[in-house]
Amino acid sequence: MDATNSVPHAISHRQLITLLQAAVPDASMVECGGEEDRSDELEELLRSYGLVSERLLQALQQRNGALAKGRSPRQLMAIGALQAHVAMALQALTASQN
């Protein structure tokens, strides 16, 4: 590839493999020490989020009748939507960990 036409219109699988084998590893990809710390922090945040979400769902289910008193239908729909989204987020979290 020359400088005037740096992006080819097509490339064969063989050419792609040759380019991949000749590529120099990216230094930022090799150095992942800081990445592990961020991963540990993320795992801890996800675990905490799961615990808090479960407690929130339990509280919403226990106080279902009390939440309805003095609230407009729009507010009740908002609380129901919140409950549904937290439940879906917990399902997604569980699926990501399995």
Tell me the average pLDDT of the chain. Answer: 84
Confidence at residue 16, expressed as pLDDT on a 0 to 100 scale: 84
The whole-angstrom separation of Cα 25 and Cα 21 is: 10
Tally of CA atoms within 13 A in the half-sphere of 58 that contains its CB? 6
- Count structural domains, the chain: 1
18 vs 12: CA distance, rounded Å:
10
Single-letter amino acid, residue 46: L
Tell which wins on pLDDT, 29 or 46: 46
25 lies in some domain: no
If you average pLDDT over residues 14-31, what whole number do you get?
A: 78
- Give me the residue label for tokens 């479960």: 54
54 domain-assigned: yes
In a domain, 87, yes or no: yes
* pTM, full prediction: 0.58
